[in-house]
Structure 1
Amino acid sequence: MDNLNGAKPHFVIVPLMAQGHMIPMVDMGLLLASRGATVSFVTTPVNAARIKPVIDGASDAGLPIRFVEFKLPCEEAGVPEGCESFDLLPSVDFRKPLFEAISLLREPLKLYLEEAKPRASCMIADICNWWTTEVARELNIARLVFHGPSCFFLLSSRNIHQSNVYETVADEHESVVVPGLPQRIEITRAQAPGWFFEWKEMQERVMEAEEAAAGVLINTFQELESEHIALYIESTKKMVLPIGPLSLYNKDAKSKATRGNKPSIEEHQILRWLDSMEPRSVLLVSFGSMVRTRPPQLIEIGCALEASGRPFVWVVKEAEKCADVEKWMSEGFEERMRARSLVITGWAPQVVILSHRAVGGFVTHCGWNSTLEAISSGVPMITWPHSGDQFLNEKLVVQVLRIGVSVGIKVPVFHPEEDKVAVERDAIESAIASLMGGGEEGDERRMRARELGEKACKAMAEGGSSYKNMTLLIQFALEQCKQ
């Protein structure tokens, strides 16, 4: 815990109600509280229930963090009751109404801050919560924005937007070179459309909110993206603090297992199975909280895993395990794979799995949390992007860092057709063989991944680059207290 000489800054953290956004911001709140700062973390009843073990653990440890629950006005915004996170929505049609419901927390947040003791000295808002700009301005509270994606994505998106490079293409599938990067990176508009491409008004509000912020926090670390961080600072002319990988705040198996949600399988069962496997022999297959893989594609993945001959942990969501998939699994797959597979239905403690010595590869959708968790554990990846920031994250992993193998996806999957297979089993099996196999290229890829994992741990340790940036963040808030 830091010696704050009696003064305690009070950080108010306002996340977006989405698992990929909430999880790193919870880690950030716990990290700030562990270093002596007072923290108010804004949440809702359903989201608080999902992280109850985390809340209880913080209370037991005596950390100065409050989880402030506001009722989300679902009915008022036209969102089904209880759907307080984007992964709980029954349809993509409810995404915009949920953004609207979250923005209606403006008044409850303002009332809380007017009465908060000690007075809030710094607000940290998810970049998507543009509406917090007005609250911070009215109450004269310094406001920083938190970016969940990689700095590589942020810089690329900013450069694409400012250069209007997409205006030169014939259609959304024609490649362009991303301007202003140290490397030659080609992307299509379909793969990297930018923030809130469907809703221009929201995109403009988000960009205005970032311009109005006093600084930017990013869940990355200096040694991973040094060139891109420097260029981003030059472009934004702001204080930019890389403070990650935030997942490394969680040191023990219990805290790793309870991040985000209660796992559907006890961590000791997973650890016992992993302990029985050879080092770096297991492949983890998991596509984050938002992706919904259709039955034919799930079966193709399963057939490729079986054909690979390698042990694997496969995370299948409850919503994905329909009658067709259940039937296929029960007709021989489960029996044949019993000795070398662990199929988890529901929420899996991903960091617990990735950080185990038995795991040697990760098939991922390239969401930044998952990507950074793999990097932190020194695990190379098979990249299978779906949408959002994921295609640019894939470029970073495969082309810049050279710690991944692409499965070959070229077109985003927004509304996958029931019977369409995006990647055939042979291509999946080939990627697995390339990633997990021997040879000079594979050995060098594993070595680079391992070295980055060591650098990630050093960045978060006392005296590391992210640790120092967290100190600068606390000092910034203390200056606001004085003013």
Structure 2
Amino acid sequence: MSNSIKGVHILIFPYPAQGHMLPMLDLAHQLALRGITITILVTPKNLPILNPLLSTHHPSSIQTLVLPFPSHPSLPSGVENIKDIGNAGNLPMINALGKLHDPIIHWFKSHPSPPVAILSDFFLGWTLHLAHQLGIPRIVFHSIASFLICVTNFLWQNIDTVRSLPVVHFPDLPRSPSFAADHLPSIYRAYRESDPDGEFLKDSMLANITSWGCVFNSLDALEGQYLDHLKNKMGHQRMWVVGPLSLFAGAETMGRINPDKDSGDRVLAWLDGCPDGSVLYVCFGSQKLLKRDQMEALAAGLEHSKIRFVWVVKSVTAQQVEDGYGFVPDGFEDRVLGRGMVIKGWAPQMSILSHRAVSGFLSHCGWNSVLEGIMAGVMILAWPMEADQFVNARLLVEDVGAGVRVCEGADAVPDSTELAQTIANSMSGDTSVQKVRAKELQDKAVEAVNESGSSWRDLEGLVNELVQL
């Protein structure tokens, strides 16, 4: 390790939501392996998420800056992570974290060897103004698709003209996509003019566009045309495309704590008894609960498809049941015994997707799930519901051809007969266009992170750029 690298210290500031934090910790791990000294900023209740990373590296390599979580009237006391409040909490969470501006300035000025750059999540765009005050560059970390950033940059820059449109067209983007207003990213739709929280959000998002550089957890083979579009718009070359980060050597444990080993062992043993490529994995991420009629339609679709499946469902409270959220219908597990497995709670998603028996993934199309599907080489059956998921589903289905849309919308209830047919058709045989394309993308992803691959080169390029600061 050269002394020039060893002296480089950066501040990493993740956003406290699983889909944002885990890839950023994967990036921190890779930078630390390459000799960069890192301070990671978290609030107290998010500190345990760092344990796998901190236990892997020497304390001189990665340190923590733990600052008290600032209160916000729209956040219940004690909530410091989006998993405890859901996506509706993003707007107040972003604003609450903005109050860490002064404590960060104080820490920086009292540090004997302060950071030469700040690398922060795209939900923390206000850190650009902080970086300007400190006289250091700010690099944005995008834990999402570059296609989504192309869409949201246009929306924030033209918000006064597009806010009232039922359908928004993006003529300057590759393939000239258009999206219905209610399929646009949730965080954009949360904006309200003249609302202080909304104006702070808008300013933060616009700040991302003018930041010194940006890092994407994506890969050229998946999004090359959108990455090129962004680079042309930025007018400089300080863009590093380094994904899938969790596919890099040694990345598999960063921040991913297994709370239920027995459950993981049980499902993998069950999959061992299934023929190759015969199983559909069904999971809608860590945030989403389905309503009762959605659960019943999905259960009926799985049952009548005659396809083997693993279905991960979130446990619901009595209050959530009262509010209309659903649970697995009575008798369902008995009727599919031997062909289907229901997991209530946590499941080892990457291990399941990578199993030889699994060839399909019925997903909400959150970006981390999309990348995990690609890394495993499985086709995706898309049911986008909120946030970035409609944009991701379009990328997978229309642009890349590695997925099939089965339903769309947070409140949509699929026709169970049609759903069963789509599942059966998609899962039969190995020669469908989508399955072949998924395997091709898997090969490209592995190639990208191997030595001299496109993501490996960009990661090395980022380190070299940091060394020059």
Q: TM-score normalised to the size of structure 1?
A: 0.86
Matches within 5 A, 1:292-311: 292-311=289-308
Q: 2:106 aligned with 1:111, yes or no?
A: yes
Counterpart AA for 1:459: A
Correspondence for 2:442: 453
State the AA in 2 paired with 1:470.
L
Distance 2:136 2:82 in 1: 28
| SS at structure 2 position matched to 1:84 | coil
Identity of aligned residues (%): 30
- Displacement of 1:299 in angstroms is 2.0
Cα displacement (A) at 1:320? 7.0
5+ residue gaps, structure 1: none
Of residues 279-288 and 117-126 in structure 1, the stretch that sits farther from structure 2 once superposed is: 117-126
C-alpha deviation, 1:346, in angstroms: 2.1
Amino acid at match of 1:287: F
SS in 1 for 2:280: strand
Q: Distance in 2 between matches of 1:464 and 1:327?
A: 45
Write the letter of the residue equivalent to 1:40. Answer: T
Residues 26 and 251 of structure 2 are in contact (CA less than 8 Å); yes or no, is this contact kept in structure 1? no
Q: Does 1:432 align with 2:423?
A: yes
**Structure 2 partner of 1:390:** 389
Q: Which residue of structure 2 aligns with residue 144 of structure 1? A: 139
8 Å CA contact 1:51–1:262 kept in 2: the answer is: no
| Conserved 8 A contact 2:380-2:403 | yes
Q: Cα 1:320–1:278, aligned 2, differ >3 Å: closer, same or farther? A: farther
- Larger displacement relative to structure 2 (151-160 or 277-286): 151-160
Partner of 1:333: 332
SS at match of 2:350: helix
- Give the superposition deviation at 1:265: 5.1
Distance 2:170 2:126 in 1: 30
Amino acid at match of 1:105: L
Aligned alpha-carbon RMSD (Å): 3.0
Q: Which moved more, 1:202-211 or 1:360-369?
A: 202-211
Measure, in 1, the Cα distance between the counterparts of 2:105 and 2:339.
53
User: Which of 226, 251, 259 is 2:256 aligned to?
Assistant: 259
What is aligned with 2:91? 96
Checking the alignment, whether the CA contact within 8 Å between 1:160 and 1:179 is kept in structure 2 is no
Report deviation, 1:168: 11
The residue that corresponds to 1:467 in the other structure is 456
Structure 1 position 111, deviation (Å): 2.9
- For 1:69-121, what per-residue CA distance to the aligned partner results, in whole angstroms no more than 9, with x for missing partners? 322123x54522332111211793x4433222222222332333334454212
- Specify the code of the residue in structure 1 equivalent to 2:83: D
Name the TM-score, length of structure 2 as normaliser: 0.88
The alpha-carbon distance between structure 1 residues 55 and 315, as it changes in their structure 2 partners (threshold 3 A), is: same
Query: In structure 2, do the counterparts of structure 1 residues 78 and 433 end up closer, same or farther at CA, with 3 Å as the change threshold?
Result: same
- Structure 1 CA distance, aligned partners of 2:163 and 2:102? 43
- The aligned counterpart of 1:189 is 181
- Pairs within 5 Å for 1:166-181: 167=162, 172=166, 174=167, 177-181=169-173
CA distance in 2, matches of 1:195, 1:300: 29
Query: Alpha-carbon deviation of 1:167?
Result: 4.6
The answer to whether residue 67 in structure 2 is matched with residue 70 in structure 1 is yes
Write the distance in 1 (CA, Å) between the matches of 2:158 and 2:74: 37
Tell me by how many angstroms 1:269 deviates. Answer: 3.0
Structure 1 residue 252: Cα displacement: 7.9
Structure 1 residues 143 and 28: CA distance shift in structure 2, 3 A: same
Structure 2 Cα separation of the partners of residues 63 and 247 of structure 1: 24
Distance 1:186 1:209, change over 3 A: closer
SS of residue in 2 equivalent to 1:319: coil
